[in-house]
């Protein structure tokens, strides 16, 4: 884990060529979101909310889930028919990015993962309280 210069890291995973049965497994998605905060040094403050989604485009059905952590949030969206999954982990403090990345890639069996890590809030005023703007 490295020192932050902004608000915090944002890990984004675009997982393709996944196992469609795993992507369609509600219990697996819940367990991933339930366990990952402890595994990467975060503080879970809610139980995961995980549900099946089916909308106007039938082939976009899948599972959506989120867990709120003291440091921000972790979310996932699966598309079993397209063998695809999106995962986001945003935090106000460093976390074990490599462990998180590997956990989701392995859990969904992604053969073609794309990994993006960026630091958000580079201009976030850490430790400073700004004067109130007029009218606020």
Look up residue 92 and give its DSSP letter: S
Rounded alpha-carbon distances, angstroms, from residue 56 to 1, 59, 63: 42, 9, 15
Rounded alpha-carbon distances, angstroms, from residue 107 to 24, 32, 85, 101: 12, 8, 11, 10
73 is catalytic: no
72 is catalytic: yes
Pairwise CA distance, residues 55 & 67, whole Å: 22
Name the active-site residue from 77, 85, 91, 110: 77
Name the active-site residue from 10, 18, 29, 72: 72
Name the active-site residue from 18, 29, 85, 92: 92
> Which residues are catalytically annotated?
72, 77, 92
């Amino acid at each position: 884990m490295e020192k932050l210069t902004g608000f915090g890291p944002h890990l984004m995973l675009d997982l393709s060529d996944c196992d469609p049965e795993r992507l369609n497994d509600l219990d697996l998605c819940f367990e991933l979101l339930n366990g990952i905060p402890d595994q990467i040094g975060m503080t879970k403050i809610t139980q995961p909310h995980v549900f099946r989604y089916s909308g106007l485009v039938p082939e976009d059905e899948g599972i959506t889930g989120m867990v709120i952590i003291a440091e921000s949030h972790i979310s996932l969206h699966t598309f079993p028919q397209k063998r695809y999954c999106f995962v986001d982990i945003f935090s106000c403090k460093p976390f074990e990015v490599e462990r998180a990345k590997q956990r989701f890639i392995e859990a969904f069996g992604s053969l073609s993962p794309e990994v993006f890590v960026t630091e958000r809030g580079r201009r976030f005023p850490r430790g400073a309280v700004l004067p109130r703007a007029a009218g606020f």
